[in-house]
Structure 1
């Protein structure tokens, strides 16, 4: 058996959960149906799953939208690692911030990117957003896809980043030359949605550190200031009774979580960034976000969508998932506009 098949299946589950939340009216995503086979036949997920998906999506969307909004002097680039079936590029490229996006790069297992590239090429709705057909090319035997703004790249992120990222983040510019897809001069946001938890702490730290070193070094060579942000969404605190049940349920599906081991509390999560060169970092559980960061009107709206009986179980689940965001500024004095990037508490009633 393929030992990574069970991890890839978690992306299929997440896409199905997102489709369910969209169909129930929690949020809008017109593109997710393209990435779920037989979408019209998919059964709805329980309210607990739908609410959790809403909290995750709302918080990450807020952070990404803020990043795009702050990218006024230069367009920004976004790198989604372990991107799976994510639709964020299409939502941004057709949304109000489309002119702020310079590049969008997705990296995942070759099996995942091959499937996604095929889906994109077959769907007129998805392919049209990439640009003219003559501007869209496949590579790596159909596992990679490149367009002026969007790049889909196959790679196993568990391998040493010096070995994989330097090669995968380039495209041919002429018969004998290549050029880098990643620009060190653009404000860059890294997205890690349920990916680092499946890697060893050493591998994930190496990956985070590679980006810090790359931007610090390459931007300095260009005489530019490095602006690098990162968002991590994943489970943590799995050493308590509820966490051990989560681990046991995942083990039954051949899924292990080596990356969760160092992070037993919400206070420990920022160290993922702070120990690897980031200037600042903060973490919140999805429960904290639901209690204090989602607008009251939104909470009232989604409360009308479905009857939620498992409130205590929902709180337990949300307390074991967190969003951590970090910021690296090579010259904080000249980048003050970025210093307040982060989730904001809602105004008191």
Structure 2
């Protein structure tokens, strides 16, 4: 859950974004470790991690955090697709996607036919590596469709297919001049304003200024509202770093030349939904990973997790989990205001902690 130094000091000086990009490698290793330890199943992540079979497992604290993040976001994405799917097919935009495998997991699941477009955006250095890995992988490439329908462009930094599209962009730049041209194709707009759209931001907005984050979300809101379609957004990030633990975390990141300009406006969990409310979203909610572990994991699942590894750092785990949160919101146009009550129930439902008595 914490970025590590994965680049040399000289490379960081010549490329100040290298430490931020390197955090994706850390996230990929964490997901690989959690999958190998059977916290969840991800048959695709090893194809995106070089020498995956040689990688060492992450500590239990990292594995638990990765599990909670992954399963909670999975549940929110699945329930969003079910709700938005009543309007027809849907489209998902993963911003700062890195080595995420969600497209392949959805493509192999029961909701595959509901996905019209799946778009990933990230730095060109990241997309070029992923494009190469996808094309080479016998596990990943079949999901893109026939080989003659898949194209690599922009000097090897983009990959386009009928559904999945991997595109290079600096998300900090003005969306109208950076993202908009990527979505324009000879056959029409890659992203339709007439279909429900879900935005995914996993450890992305914290690395951007609040102004840049707002501009990014606002651009997609304006784009989709022109077609009167629901817009959903899910954010996973660290927050509340003004306490002693947070200051230590910030100092550790600073030593790795990583800064978090986006965390300042969000000192506590109550402040996180304000990002969406300020941008006129209809619904907005937030939970810490600590909340999710305590209230949103089944008793049977907690019991299963306890058998995977010995976790003797419960206090430290709670401290870390209390500084990471998932925030989600929905923007429902007035033209389909009848749907608003349904979107109010787009939440992570509390799980039962006691097994029902046998009849």
Q: TM-score, normalised by structure 1?
A: 0.95
Q: 2:190 aligns with which of 173, 181, 193?
A: 181
**Uncovered stretches (5+) of structure 1, i.e. residues with no partner:** 174-178, 220-224
Contact preservation (8 Å) 2:159, 2:166: yes
Q: For residue 36 of structure 1, what is the aligned residue in structure 2?
A: 49
Give the aligned partner of residue 21 of structure 1: 34
Distance (Å, rounded) in 2 between the aligned partners of 1:148 and 1:72: 22
Assess if the C-alpha contact under 8 Å between 1:209 and 1:277 holds in 2.
no
1:282: how far off?
0.7
Instruction: Report what 1:229 is aligned to.
Output: 232
Structure 2 CA distance for aligned equivalents of residues 171 and 226 of structure 1: 21
**Residue in structure 2 matching 1:69, options 78, 82, 101:** 82
The answer to whether 1:142 aligns with 2:142 is no
Distance 1:337 1:279 in 2: 11
Q: Deviations over 1:116-165 (max 9, x none)?
A: 11111111211111000011011211111110001101000000111112
CA distance in 2, matches of 1:20, 1:287: 21
**Could you tell me whether the CA contact under 8 Å between 1:79 and 1:188 is conserved in 2?**
yes
TM-score, length-normalised on structure 2?
A: 0.92
Match of 1:340 among 334, 340, 345: 345
Pairwise CA RMSD: 1.1
Post-superposition shift, 1:99?
Answer: 1.2
CA–CA separation in structure 2 for the residues paired with 1:205 and 1:308: 38
Corresponding residue to 1:4 among 4, 17, 29: 17
Aligned residue for 1:234, secondary structure, equals: strand
Cα distance in structure 2, aligned partners of 1:139 and 1:342? 39
- Answering whether residue 157 of structure 2 is matched by residue 153 of structure 1, we say no
| CA offsets 1:14-44 (integer angstroms, 9 cap, x no match) | 0000000000000000000011110000000
Tell me, in whole angstroms, the C-alpha distance in 2 between the residues paired with 1:45 and 1:125.
Answer: 24
Task: Report the equivalent of 1:55.
Answer: 68
Alignment size in residue pairs: 338
CA shift, 1:185, in A, is 1.2
Q: What's the offset of the Cα at 1:104?
A: 0.3
Deviating beyond 2 angstroms after TM superposition, the runs of 4 or more aligned structure 1 residues are 331-334, 336-339
The correspondence for 1:87, drawn from 94, 101, 109, is: 101
Map residues 1-349 of structure 1 onto 2, 5 A cutoff: 1-70=14-83, 71-173=85-187, 179-216=188-225, 218-219=226-227, 225-331=228-334, 332-335=336-339, 336-347=341-352, 349=354
